[in-house]
Structure 1
Amino acid sequence: MIRLDDYCSDDANDLWGIYFHTIRHINIRDYSLAQVTAWAPDNIDPKRWLNKMEAIRPFIAKIDGKPVGYADLQQDGLIDHFFCHHLFQSKGVGKALMLHIEQQAKKRGISRVYSHVSITARPFYERMGFVVVKDQLVEVREQHLRNFVMEKCLK
């Protein structure tokens, strides 16, 4: 069973692992090794990562008490991070997180959620009712990665 918890700083290291391994094992299908290495580098400043997680305060999906995914919702409706553990893909983790985000958005009076979505995640977002607003190239550590701004209007 998937349980959703609020972020606490003790989760930061687990979330780095989810982020790193998802990009390196899943996103590698649609991006080059140089691109995924730039996106999820081997060496990261742990303090910088902790500061990022403290800033976005993601929701954590857990199975048997172990984090298997995380996602956030910012005040303007931005979903900045949305990652499911590479070994827990297609097991309902992403859907549970997205439904929670939509529920939280409605509670906060946010009528539109949006994200910068990877090529890999685009089909999932489309299944969840998002539409592409624009196609873009973003630069990450001197690599150019294609992604999509996608949005969903909530009723």
Structure 2
Amino acid sequence: MIKDIEIREAILDDLPEITSIFRDTVRAINSRDYSETQIEIWSSGADDTEIWEERINNLYFIVAEYRNEIVGFAHVTKGCHLDGIYVHKNYQRRTIGSKLLRIVESQIMAEGYEVINADSSITSVDFFDSHYFEQIKKQKKSYKGKGFAYSIFSKEL
């Protein structure tokens, strides 16, 4: 467990660290549940800088910092949909994801929502289970022409 984690809203200057965490985490952590082709396609999303800039500028987007290094991030769409939560590959299972989730849940409640929804990769199912989310259904979606299995989760706040 890491104690000195600072959570703050993301700014555009964070973009290189955010996209690096995204790419590296997908390649190192999600590779145990997805094919090499799927991982290459998924991690290439880090190169879509316009999308990342739009997320930072228009969504509730937070980062976790430890010793002046970004070690995780989360962002919310549609008011109550956790669209992404990623933790640096070297900081997995050290409460960073849990802290990001608590802040996101607080923000969602402050905006008057009573439920949080999330799409989950196969890899993060245990994380959502351990945080009292209910798995609603399993699905597949297409991203850049390749199918990806994922689950839809929901939790009452």
Q: Which residue of 1 aligns with 2:61?
A: 58
Instruction: Please report the RMSD computed on the Cα atoms of aligned residues, expressed in angstroms.
Output: 1.5
Query: How many residues are paired up?
Result: 154
Q: Which residue of 1 aligns with 2:38?
A: 35
Residues 22-54 of structure 1 show CA distances to partners (whole Å, capped at 9, x for unaligned) of: 100000010001011111128824334323332
Residues 80-99 of structure 1 show CA distances to partners (whole Å, capped at 9, x for unaligned) of: 11111111100110010011
Q: Which residue of 1 aligns with 2:117?
A: 114
When the two structures are superposed, what TM-score results if normalisation uses the length of structure 2? 0.92
Matched to 1:15, the amino acid is I
The match for 2:28 among 22, 25, 28 is 25
Matched to 2:122, the amino acid is I
**Distance in 1 between residues matched to 2:24 and 2:38, nearest whole Å:** 14
Moved over 6 A (4+): none
The Cα of 1:58 is off from its aligned counterpart by 1.0
The match for 2:15 among 12, 16, 21 is 12
The match for 1:2 among 1, 5, 27 is 5
Gaps of 5+ in 2: none
Question: Is 1:69 aligned to residue 82 of structure 2?
Answer: no
Residues 45-74 of structure 1 show CA distances to partners (whole Å, capped at 9, x for unaligned) of: 433432333233411111011110000123
Gaps of 5+ in 1: none
Residue identity (%) = 24
Moved more, 130-139 or 66-75: 66-75
